[in-house]
Amino acid sequence: MSDNRKIVYRISSYLPRLGLASLALCLGSGIILVFYYRPMGNVFQNVEEITTLVPFGWFFRQLHYGSGQLFVILMLLHTLDHFLRKRYRIYGFKEWVFLISSLFLCFFVLFTGFVLKGDKGGLFAGSIFMNILQSMPVVGGKIAPLFIVPGKSFFFLPYLYHCFFLPVLIICLIRGHIREWFPGRGFLCIGMSGLFLYALLVRPAPDIPPEAAMAVVQGPWFFLGLQTLLRLFPVLFAGLVIPGLFTACLLLLPLLRRSSPDTSLKGRVARLGENGLHYLLVTALCLYGFLTLRAVL
Ligand code: HEM
């Protein structure tokens, strides 16, 4: 193996291990926060009290935020690494579906965490999410209340999903893929020291009170591209059709794997189809990056 390939291989194997170390810290700090967090009443005030009145509340909030973000970013990079090296060829359809679903669920956990802050941004993101679900033809009105409801219980369902259902579901989905749950002492130490330093030294972005008057409210970083899409197209198209098509193409990839020899017509068509879909997805990802930049600049 050449030196360059060795380095790439090493980085590839470090990503998921550091990810698991971050997940451990995220779950630990989440369990501490859940003792103080109340999803009913004045949620914004409750979160402010956790930050200012609970001993080390600011530290655990920032640790949870940093470890949660790092975990999901590392999972994204790990999946991108598999995708770009066309490793979906070696996975069965079921395993690939589980892995992609767990990545989407990771983003959903981040999203519900953003809503749980109860500030202007959280309320805004939660309302957009509710509108997208309600825009689903026929079933929208029935599906939306399974995730989020307006009024006093606005934060309750996102809270249940964030703190209980989603972490358990993610762990169940990736269970078959993980060879060793313990990431190794070195990775745990690096993850812990880096994230503890981050929580101690980096000040959290100020939470905006829900009643503050603001013309533009930005969602979490991975939601910005979708926000731009929502400005350009109708909700149903931007919020459901485009993401749905992208997900369907991604899930279909392992099915196009070449089962027939390359030289046969069937084999050549399958290879063409797989390559076409692969580069279509790469283009879609680049476009999403561009839409994200458009939202910030
Ligand atoms: C995959 C696992 C998880 C990820 C990626 C994650 C991520 C996040 C993020 C990014 C936030 C927003 C923090 C902020 O902006 O200040 C958040 C909030 C929160 N999380 Fe999690 N979390 C996870 C699991 C958990 C678990 C298992 C619990 C509890 C058992 C929990 C409890 C909370 C609570 C109570 C909040 C709201 C308080 C706050 O905003 O600081 N989380 N989470």
123: CATH:
1.20.810.10
At 145-172, the pLDDT tens digits run 999 999 999 999 999 999 999 999 999 9
Return the residue whose CA atom lies nearest to atom 12 of ligand 1: 113
Residue with tokens 């879909």: 277
- Ligand 1 lined by 34 (C-beta under 6 Å): yes
- Per-position DSSP letters for 6-68, written without gaps between them: HHHHHHHHHHHHHHHHHHHHHHHHHHHHHTT--SSS-HHHHHHHHHHTSTTHHHHHHHHHHHH
At 12-51, the pLDDT tens digits run 889 999 999 999 999 999 999 999 999 999 999 999 999 9
pLDDT at 260 over 90: no
Contact 240, 132 (CB under 8 A): yes
Task: Tell me, yes or no, whether 140 and 241 share the same domain.
Answer: no
pLDDT score recorded for residue 153? 95
> Domain limits at 112?
3-219
CB proximity list for 47: less than 8 A, separation 6 or greater? 37, 61, 116, 117, 118, 119, 207
At 169-199, the pLDDT tens digits run 999 999 988 888 887 888 899 999 999 999 9
Task: Tell me, yes or no, whether 108 and 238 share the same domain.
Answer: no
Q: Which of 107, 98, 97 is nearest to 129 (CA)?
A: 107
pTM of this structure? 0.93
What is the pLDDT averaged over residues 216-226? 90
CB proximity list for 92: less than 8 A, separation 6 or greater? 254
Contact 199, 62 (CB under 8 A): yes
Between residues 204 and 32, which one has the greater pLDDT? Answer: 32
Total of domains in the chain: 2
- Ligand 1 lined by 31 (C-beta under 6 Å): yes
Task: Tell me, yes or no, whether 62 and 95 share the same domain.
Answer: yes
Return the residue whose CA atom lies nearest to atom 43 of ligand 1: 113
Task: Tell me, yes or no, whether 18 and 112 share the same domain.
Answer: yes
Task: Tell me, yes or no, whether 199 and 258 share the same domain.
Answer: no
Mutual orientation of helices 93-116 and 57-84 as an angle, nearest 10°?
150
- Ligand 1 lined by 113 (C-beta under 6 Å): yes
Kindly indicate the confidence band of residue 261, based on its pLDDT and cuts at 50, 70 and 90. low
Task: Tell me, yes or no, whether 189 and 225 share the same domain.
Answer: no
Task: Tell me, yes or no, whether 200 and 247 share the same domain.
Answer: no
Judging by beta carbons within 10 Å of its beta carbon (0-12, 13-18, 19+), is residue 7 exposed, middle or buried? Answer: exposed
Residue with tokens 């797989």: 274
- Distance between CA atoms of 228 and 280, rounded to whole angstroms? 20
Task: Tell me, yes or no, whether 236 and 190 share the same domain.
Answer: no
Task: Tell me, yes or no, whether 243 and 117 share the same domain.
Answer: no
CB proximity list for 166: less than 8 A, separation 6 or greater? 105, 108, 109, 112
Return the residue whose CA atom lies nearest to atom 1 of ligand 1: 167
Task: Tell me, yes or no, whether 167 and 225 share the same domain.
Answer: no
- Ligand 1 lined by 155 (C-beta under 6 Å): no
Residue with tokens 């279909």: 252
Kindly indicate the confidence band of residue 266, based on its pLDDT and cuts at 50, 70 and 90. confident
Q: What is the mean pLDDT of the chain?
A: 92
Mutual orientation of helices 3-34 and 57-84 as an angle, nearest 10°?
140
Pick from 183, 199, 219: which residue ends a domain?
A: 219
Residues in the chain: 297
- Distance between CA atoms of 290 and 283, rounded to whole angstroms? 10
Task: Tell me, yes or no, whether 199 and 260 share the same domain.
Answer: no
Pick from 195, 219, 243: which residue ends a domain?
A: 219
CB proximity list for 141: less than 8 A, separation 6 or greater? 134
- Ligand 1 lined by 65 (C-beta under 6 Å): yes
- Distance between CA atoms of 271 and 23, rounded to whole angstroms? 37
Give phi and psi for 61, each to the nearest 5: -65, -45
Tell me the CA–centroid distance for residue 99 and ligand 1, in Å: 21
- Ligand 1 lined by 114 (C-beta under 6 Å): yes
Mutate to test the pocket of ligand 1, among 23, 33, 207 (most ligand atoms within 8 A of CB): 33
Mutate to test the pocket of ligand 1, among 36, 74, 106, 116 (most ligand atoms within 8 A of CB): 116
Pick from 219, 249, 266: which residue ends a domain?
A: 219
- Distance between CA atoms of 238 and 282, rounded to whole angstroms? 19
Task: Tell me, yes or no, whether 167 and 139 share the same domain.
Answer: yes
- Distance between CA atoms of 183 and 23, rounded to whole angstroms? 10
